[in-house]
Structure 1
Amino acid sequence: MAEAANSVPRFDTRTEVDFVIIGSGAAGGIMARELSVAGFSVVLLEQGPHLQAADFRHDEWAYDVNNELTWSARQGHPQTFRKSEDEEAVPVRQALGYAHNVGGSSVHFSGNFWRFRPIDFMEASVKGSIAGTNFADWPISYEELEPYYSRVDWEIGVSGLQGPWDPPRSRDYPCPPMPIKGSDVLLERAAKQLGLNPYPAPVAILSQPHNGRPACTHCGFCNGYGCEMNAKSSTMIAMIPQALASGNCELRTGCTAARIETDDAGRVTEVVYWETDGSVQAQRAKAAVVCANGAETPRLLLLSASNRFPDGLANSSGMVGKNLMFNGYSTVAGLFEQPVNAYKSIPATRVVHDYYELPSSLGFYGGGGIDGRHPTRGLPMGLAMSSSLFGGPSWGSEFKRNLQREFTHTAAFDGHTTSLPVSSNSVSLDPVVKDKWGRPALRCTYKDHPDDIATMKFFYDLSNELMSAAGAIKQAGFYPENGQNGNVHLLGTCRMGNDPASSVVDRFHRSHDVPNLFMVDGSSLVTSGRGQPTMTIMALAFRAADNLIQAARRGEV
């Protein structure tokens, strides 16, 4: 493995650095780049390895079965799941999915980069309250975040096409859209037949060289895989190298945060962590920035309980770990007479957003988009292990003939939809199951709100209609009508807000309770958007870093 050597300088653990950042993913990588380039001393803790392009491979068994990127109980990181708080959680392979490596899940994501739209930030005021939820407006607007969306476009690297389908933007995309693939030709034709408006999907994958990185080679191993070309715009390649080159950032891999310590005044003093060999270290810091994702960030805060913070650090509101949002999902596969070859290239190149907001006449809240894909992410082993998509034998010569045909002659139209914030949907500490470090395992409690299930069904039905219009000779699909059992979008568990009684961080990501503690990742989101949150997480990180740099220079951290 061509793991990168940890960087110089080497900061003394007993001497205060300006910032300790916990997690190097979509938000943490940006925070590290911004703070270190601004001249602050930064220690960046990452529990996984520093994998680079040469380490990634087309190995379905390693990644999808052995969970080499998204760790599970196999690596000593068990999780448990339950539908409601009155149930006992049971061990599961993975309910809360995320990557454990420098760059986090931005290394293996699909790269769909939809901006949130102005309505996302003020939807509660427009639509009204929804029973059984904590549906709320954001404390910031789209207009405040827009300049930082543009920074994501240009500094992270996004390909797309500006047009009437876009929310307002101050700059065009730096790269043109990716070429359309077979499944999306079908989606585009079908959508136009139904009077809808498909458009080129914006993606964090380079269609042409940008910022010294090469263009995509359309290998097909994308969703769930690291990019061997560095064309996928992860923070591992777009941000971390600049942080290390600043001379102010030390990256420590194989370091798992155990707790955050505070003094008698309630201020962060140090971050305690385990190294790979089990030795315990503690890095002193003037401030801590937690970017560990929507599952690990609340776990760390809950594990950092003390006499002063008996319910967990930064948890006077009781909202740490609450309001977990997954985003909804549906899929319809279609079999066609002629080859589609949807396994080629990136996951999606066209999207339909005509129902970004569902009409109130339907009687439930929701919205989303539909894009075209391959039914098994373009993975041949994935198709074989799922047997036939449309029925038939699961072994023998006919099974093999079906697999051969289905791999090349199918397309999928996938719905990506809203999730509502519900207090009982949460990340918490399992009282029984422990991980390899002896920490309580992540316990996920999740039951989709009825509006979320109704929204998934709406998009499932629309995908079926589109697939029929596209000319499929067979169709099969799925939406979780009984609710989801897990997801990779982990949102809302340390939500942003102006009121300390109902939120964990303020509009600048500073803890309401601890003045030198900041949380910046998917946990900050107030609402879920329509299914592709990473671009918004990155824009929030650029904005948080900008404001934190200004506050630090004023001596207000």
Structure 2
Amino acid sequence: MTQAPDFVIVGSGAAGGVIAKELAVAGFRVVVLEQGPHLTATDFHHDELATVYRYALTNDPRFSPTTFRRTDAEVAGPGGWLQYARLVGGGTAHFTANYWRFHEIDFNERSKIGAISGTAFGDWPITYDELEPYYTKVEWDIGVSGQAGVSPFDPPRSKPYPMPPLPVKSSGVLFERGAKRLGWHPFPAPMAIASQPYQGRNSCQHCGFCEFFGCEFGAKSSTLFTVIPRAQATGRCEIRSGCYVFRIDVDRRGRTTGVTYYDAHKRERRQRAKAVILCCNGAETPRLLLLSASSRFPDGLANSSGLVGKHLMFTGWALTSGVFEQPLNEFKSVLVTRVLQDFYETDPARGFYGGGGLDARLDFPPIGFALSGLPPDVPRWGAEYQRTLRHYFTRTMNVACHSTSLPLASNNITLDPTVKDAWGLPALRVTYRDHPDDLSMMRWLQARGLELLQAAGAQRTWSYPVTEQSGSNHLLGTCRMGTDAAASVVDRSHRTHDVPNLFICDGSSFVTSGRGQPTCTIQALAYRAAERIAQRARAGEIPSGA
């Protein structure tokens, strides 16, 4: 585009792809800048070593290091991990595709149960009812498989899922058996994977390589295969890959005029735009705002509240395992086919805050299982290891436990004062310590996972120790939404309080963490944000910086 576009969007993942499509279809000119390459379905493969261990689709710590510490009093050092995608489609290209809506309680829990001392636990400035039409829109626009109305805990919905659930796997059958024996309520997992041909895309071919991998059949409902091609088809959206944005430019009026980035050859480039929309993720979005500090914005752009980068939430996670008499062959098909949410809400009888859900899966691809999937007392070398691996790989399933994280100002993203990335820019510095209630909730759910496996008939069960987390692929809360400019970074329409033509929509906008599956809500927020941004642009309510 020779003229400055109406919008430049940084990031092409869950939110960026949606907003690009919505704005381009609405008639606006859009440029999307993405750090990684623009791959196609034929570029994806099942090479676990290259994809998982050599970071083919995600941030590579050799080029983008992260430092870590538990508290501000410590000097951060190597360690910790933040996983996020670097390719067109972002995390939607390689995610598991678990696709839960948030429930009504996620948006107003503070009003229901009260304050939690030492935290920034609060209500969202929007309600579930306000977001429900956008949940429905994303489910139908990208294609989600599921079955509405079968869980007694399901939040209200205006339409069913557009596709039936995916076929149940062995783990789902056993999960359902164990849960029902315990009086719980399992149901077919909502998945952003096509169970039948949908809008010109293939249905799932059950190859077994969903989590961590791109889909060579195009059945995973990634923005790469869904909304981004529609955005490009308008002729008004350019997807520009290999672009490492490192500064948001502002003029003397405090308006953004575009962004500056390094291209694939590390040459500095500038993209002017009338407005900028950040859709990086909950780590890179605050990093970019902090990197954009200037004499006018000495603490970072859009940071008059001092909250950019603060209230980082990972969501809770725990895992249990069980081995069964007969082969389950869980290496086939999608990762998850059954879920339960009986423990979604906080129960004061537990003695701590939190809630969550369980799902049935095998959480390890082959190499990962060989390295980490066996019980802790099994030798890791030799004939017994080989025998156990051969027997257990086809007979093991996991129950994964997904739970809440409380927002703490002490958990944050900042710029490391000494460590640099491959472009010479300050590295991400992560400060994180789980709230005691979060750890208690993880352990409590893990105990329920073991109960379920035993009720399902597992011959042996084991679990992985719940310890303080040092990383996640769910990066939430670091540019929180709110109506008070002193206590939030963006307003309820995702416009930053400080810069009238700068918007943020990704996991960083979250006020609370939900129960471990944020992508559906990120995308629903993106549809809502795009609608409001378009309305404001048509009304002349977004002052241009370009």
- TM-score bin, normalised by smaller chain: over 0.9
Shift of 1:184: 1.3
For 2:101, give the aligned amino acid.
R
Q: 2:458 aligns with which of 472, 476, 480?
A: 472
**Aligned length, in residue pairs:** 540
1:95-494 equivalences under 5 Å are 95-165=81-151, 166-376=154-364, 379-386=365-372, 388-481=374-467, 483-494=468-479
TM-score by length of 2: 0.98
Q: Aligned pair 1:89/2:65, yes or no?
A: no
Distance 1:477 1:387 in 2: 10
Q: Aligned pair 1:79/2:66, yes or no?
A: yes
Shift of 1:539: 0.2
| Worse-matched range after superposition: 264-273 or 100-109 | 264-273
Shift of 1:393: 2.0
Instruction: Describe the SS at the equivalent of 1:73.
Output: coil
Instruction: Describe the SS at the equivalent of 1:235.
Output: coil
Q: Aligned pair 1:545/2:530, yes or no?
A: yes
Residue by residue over 1:309-335, the C-alpha shift from the partner in whole angstroms, topping out at 9 and shown as x without a partner, is: 110000000110000000101111011
Instruction: Describe the SS at the equivalent of 1:354.
Output: coil
Distance 1:336 1:250 in 2: 51
Distance 1:343 1:355 in 2: 28
- Contact residue 7 and residue 31 of structure 2 kept, 8 A: yes
Q: 1:555 aligns with which of 518, 532, 540?
A: 540
- Contact residue 464 and residue 475 of structure 1 kept, 8 A: yes
Q: Aligned pair 1:64/2:64, yes or no?
A: no
Residue by residue over 1:9-40, the C-alpha shift from the partner in whole angstroms, topping out at 9 and shown as x without a partner, is: xx13xx42110100000000011111111111
Distance 1:470 1:329 in 2: 22
Instruction: Describe the SS at the equivalent of 1:471.
Output: coil
Distance 1:211 1:479 in 2: 43
- Contact residue 183 and residue 341 of structure 1 kept, 8 A: no
Distance 1:164 1:319 in 2: 40
For 1:82, give the aligned amino acid.
R
Instruction: Describe the SS at the equivalent of 1:550.
Output: helix
Distance 2:201 2:369 in 1: 32
Task: Give the structure 2 partner of residue 52 of structure 1.
Answer: 40
Percentage of pairs with the same residue? 57
Distance 1:312 1:248 in 2: 31
Distance 1:479 1:498 in 2: 40
Distance 1:463 1:523 in 2: 30
Distance 1:98 1:417 in 2: 20
- Contact residue 175 and residue 207 of structure 1 kept, 8 A: yes
Residue by residue over 1:93-124, the C-alpha shift from the partner in whole angstroms, topping out at 9 and shown as x without a partner, is: x5211010000010000000000011110000
Distance 2:500 2:59 in 1: 33
- Contact residue 150 and residue 187 of structure 2 kept, 8 A: no
Shift of 1:167: 0.9
Shift of 1:504: 0.2
Shift of 1:363: 1.6
Residue by residue over 1:298-317, the C-alpha shift from the partner in whole angstroms, topping out at 9 and shown as x without a partner, is: 00000001111110000000
Distance 1:173 1:214 in 2: 17
Is there any run of 5+ residues in structure 1 with no aligned partner, and where? 1-10
Shift of 1:389: 2.6
Instruction: Describe the SS at the equivalent of 2:81.
Output: coil
For 2:524, give the aligned amino acid.
A
- Contact residue 335 and residue 363 of structure 2 kept, 8 A: no
For 1:344, give the aligned amino acid.
K
Distance 1:495 1:72 in 2: 27
- Contact residue 456 and residue 479 of structure 1 kept, 8 A: no
Shift of 1:164: 4.7
Residue by residue over 1:443-464, the C-alpha shift from the partner in whole angstroms, topping out at 9 and shown as x without a partner, is: 1111000110010011011111
For 2:514, give the aligned amino acid.
G
Instruction: Describe the SS at the equivalent of 2:149.
Output: coil
For 1:151, give the aligned amino acid.
K
Distance 1:128 1:65 in 2: 43
Shift of 1:492: 0.4
For 2:52, give the aligned amino acid.
D
Task: Give the structure 2 partner of residue 508 of structure 1.
Answer: 493
Distance 1:98 1:340 in 2: 31
- Contact residue 72 and residue 79 of structure 1 kept, 8 A: no
Q: Aligned pair 1:532/2:517, yes or no?
A: yes
Distance 1:70 1:473 in 2: 37
Task: Give the structure 2 partner of residue 5 of structure 1.
Answer: none
Q: RMSD over aligned Cα, in angstroms?
A: 1.0
Residues 405 and 272 (structure 1 numbering): CA distance in 2 closer, same or farther, change over 3 Å?
same
Shift of 1:383: 1.5
For 2:144, give the aligned amino acid.
V
Shift of 1:343: 1.7
Distance 1:364 1:495 in 2: 24
- Contact residue 80 and residue 90 of structure 1 kept, 8 A: yes
Residue by residue over 1:36-59, the C-alpha shift from the partner in whole angstroms, topping out at 9 and shown as x without a partner, is: 111111111001000111000001
